[in-house]
A = this chain, B = another copy of it.
Amino acid sequence: MDISEVRERIVAAADELYNAKGIQAVGMDELRSVAGVSLKKLYAEFPSKSSIVMAVLEHRHKSWTEGLDATVQQAGGPRERLLAIFDYLAGWFCQDSFRGCGFINSFAELGAISPDVAEYARKHKESFQEYVARLAGEAGAPGYLAPQLAILAEGAQTTAAIAGTSDAAGQARQAAAVLIDAALTAD
């Protein structure tokens, strides 16, 4: 078993478990069991639980961002690319494993007692805002549109997570279309 494969298995198992049950509710022994590695290997790979948490956040950021960009790239024009953000959300919300944005959740759970977690969550959201701003810029929209769309996307995530209804993405998409068209015709 390769050493980097061990890392991947640990991070993948931690990602699933932390998403499903919350970070603090998952002990190292349960993680060891699900990942299928010994406790010694686990601590040889990561110095502490908090370092695993940070690795999970990095992994989440990478896969989420890549998934979003893949969906956006498939869309036709600049306007459709902005709307594709919400198509990506819709597909995400439909997954059985969806239990809200992992960054919002980890921020809520650990943000107040772990500056690292708080900062990483902030950077993830900042990166998303910049991504939306770039798409909006390519569409020729005024600067105020991107924060509005980002807020819609955030709201769709928490609404879908708590209410358990996945149509929040569709409602957010319709609202986004209105905001986009209003912004594009306002010049």
Copies of this protein chain in the complex: 2
| Residue pair B182, A168 in contact (C-beta under 8 Å) | no
What is the CB-to-nearest-CB distance from A151 to chain B, in angstroms, rounded to a whole number? 4
In the bound assembly, the distance between CA atoms of A154 and B121 in angstroms comes to 17
Q: Mark A127-165, 1 if CB is under 8 A from B, else 0.
A: 001000000000000001001101111111111011110
A112 at interface by CB-CB < 8 Å: yes
In the bound assembly, the distance between CA atoms of A103 and B100 in angstroms comes to 13
What is the CB-to-nearest-CB distance from A16 to chain B, in angstroms, rounded to a whole number? 12
In the complex, 18 of the A-B residue pairs with CB atoms within 8 angstroms, ordered by the A residue number, are: A24-B109, A99-B111, A100-B107, A104-B108, A105-B109, A107-B161, A108-B109, A122-B162, A122-B163, A148-B171, A151-B152, A151-B156, A151-B168, A154-B159, A155-B156, A175-B175, A178-B178, A178-B182
For A178, the chain B residues whose CB sits under 8 A away are 178-179, 182
Add 14 more A-B contacts to A100-B107, A125-B163, A179-B179 (CB < 8 A). A20-B112, A25-B113, A104-B158, A105-B109, A125-B159, A148-B171, A150-B159, A151-B155, A151-B156, A151-B168, A152-B152, A152-B155, A154-B154, A157-B158
A174 at interface by CB-CB < 8 Å: yes
